[in-house]
Amino acid sequence: MSEEQPLLRPAAEHIDPDYESAVILDFEPNSPDNPRNWPDAFKWSVVLMLACMAFAVTFTCISIVPIANQIVADLDNGEPSSAGSTLLVTIWEFGEAGGPLLIAPLSEVFGRYPVMNVANIIFIAATLSAALCQSTTLFIACRALTGFAVAVNVLNPAIIGDMFAPEQRGSAMSLIMCAPLIGGTIGPVVSGLIAELVGWRVVVLIGAALAVACEVLFLTCFRETYKLAILRRRIQKLGKGSAQHRHGLEMVVKSVSRPFAVLFGSGVLSALSLFGSVSFSYFYVLSVSLPGILQDVYHFTPSETGTAFIFLIGIGSFVSIAICHTTIDRISMYLRGSPNNPNLPEYSLPILIIAGFTMPFVMSAYGWIAQYRLSVWILLTAAAALNATTLLVLIPLSAYVVDAGGLYSASAMTGVIVTRCLMGTFLPLTTAPLVDNLGYGWGCTIFGALSLLLAPIPLLVLRYGEKWRQRSEYTRKSEDQE
């Protein structure tokens, strides 16, 4: 099955002519409608818009971390709960696990532009509701809805794939991560200080205001990037298609089911999804444990705890971004050799492999440093290293999924994101019981052992992935690998 054909294609007797024509029709050489042919300045302006929204989203998500205990205590009349505080932080990921199941496939039916804007508006509404709520339960529900509506985390890799050739995606993928990292760095610092001065509700309102500003940019400046959506509109302008898809509902239903077909139909994606989801969940293990360590053991105030996250998210993240930006594309081109050779997705995995085998030791070190109450600077250095290692897993993994998924990269990313978000929601809930029963040292060592058990997966994919991908109709060679 060609990657140019739709996955889960409609039955022959029910084929929508618009849908079929859009698959058959293609861009002319050097067509200005083709996002790959857009001026570099405009393509990077689109990347900047995506980065701005990612900044706002990450600010809204991470700014809650150092003040979660304060929010729960305020909403529950001075009775904080460790489980409630943890869920307040991680429930975002539970919502984000459901969002991609609609956002990604709907973007492949209606295009990136309408789906992105509708999701952004829902995100803004849910954030404003969270700022006004009067109970922890309602706040958690609003946080779950904001996670559900985060479109940029789902569509950013796919939009980059729409606009950039494979050998350019590594740089774009790395650079687009910078803005959310800045948001994740600034968020805790600002939230800790503002929460002390004027209260936590102002922190949430700031996140909503940032999202509103970004949505104005999307409504006015963003252009459709998805190939099939552009071609379908061209067909309609030529008068060869109906104004609406006659089988739109059927297409949506099949598109919503596509991520499950991609995830369970490709052993390579399933294995890498499991590996990536465990690595990703360690960021939230770190996020829910570090504030307690800093405030209970090192007697930090909330504002000082927020400032400490500069080490956790800022320094560690920018180091990992710099590594990915300077190495992924170069390693890929080196492994490819001649430009006449196929550009395999597996060529983006070496950095991920190194990070995968580093993760168990960094995770264990973080726990034992906290256990023995070593210098806070050593603790923060270990936290930064753990965060950097997590990103050195996630960035190459995203590049791999985009390349392997081809035209339907958004649905391919969905399989990874769903498992990642579910793991990020529930695995951190085991942190408190492990620490209470075993201490930070052995508790984090158990997390490290789990990571070590999964570390060989990307190494095996690098060695055998090209062969394994051919067993699934969803990850066979795309046009970029030919």
Over residues 120-143, the pLDDT tens digits come to: 999 999 999 999 988 888 999 999
pLDDT of 346 reads: 85
Residue found under tokens 């996250």 = 309
What's this model's pTM, rounded to 2 decimal places?
Answer: 0.71
Residue ranges making up the domain that contains 332: 12-481
CATH of the domain at 423: 1.20.1250.20
Over residues 185-201, the pLDDT tens digits come to: 788 878 888 888 888 89
pLDDT of 410 reads: 66
Distance of CA 462 to the CA centre of its chain: 22
pLDDT of 9 reads: 38
Please tell me the distance from the alpha carbon of residue 50 to that of residue 42, in angstroms, as a whole number.
13
Record the tokens describing residue 96, joined without a space: 């984000």
pLDDT of 249 reads: 60
Please tell me the distance from the alpha carbon of residue 469 to that of residue 460, in angstroms, as a whole number.
12
Distance of CA 384 to the CA centre of its chain: 19
For helices 136-148 and 112-132, give the axis angle rounded to 10 degrees: 170
Residues of the chain with pLDDT under 70: 1-25, 78-83, 167, 174-175, 177, 181, 239-252, 255, 311-312, 407-408, 410, 476-482
For residue 5, being part of any structural domain is answered with no
For residue 2, being part of any structural domain is answered with no
pLDDT of 121 reads: 93
Please tell me the distance from the alpha carbon of residue 160 to that of residue 320, in angstroms, as a whole number.
20
Spell out the SS3 assignment of the chain. Answer: CCCCCCCCCCCHHHCCHHHHHHHHCCCCCCCCCCHHHCCHHHHHHHHHHHHHHHHHHHHHHHCCHHHHHHHHHHHCCCCCCHHHHHHHHHHHHHHHHHHHHHHHHHHHHHCHHHHHHHHHHHHHHHHHHHHHCCCHHHHHHHHHHHHHCCCHHHHHHHHHHHHCCHHHHHHHHHHHCHHHHHHHHHHHHHHHHHHHHCCHHHHHHHHHHHHHHHHHHHHHHCCCCCHHHHHHHHHHHCCCCCCCCCCHHHHHHHHHHHHHHHHHHCHHHHHHHHHHHHHHHHHHHHHHHHHHHHHHCCCCCHHHHHHHHHHHHHHHHHHHHHHHHHHHHHHHHHHHCCCCCCCCHHHHCHHHHHHHHHHHHHHHHHHHHHHCCCCHHHHHHHHHHHHHHHHHHHHHHHHHHHHHHHHHHHHHHHHHHHHHHHHHHHHHHHHHHHHHHHHHHHHHHHHHHHHHHHCHHHHHHHHHHHHHHCCCCCCCCCHHHC
pLDDT of 10 reads: 37
For residue 451, being part of any structural domain is answered with yes
Rounded (5°) CA angle 86-91-95: 170
For residue 175, being part of any structural domain is answered with yes
For residue 243, being part of any structural domain is answered with yes
For residue 26, being part of any structural domain is answered with yes
pLDDT of 417 reads: 78
Q: How many domains does the chain have?
A: 1
For residue 7, being part of any structural domain is answered with no
CB proximity list for 170: less than 8 A, separation 6 or greater: 324, 325, 328, 329, 332, 348, 399
For residue 4, being part of any structural domain is answered with no
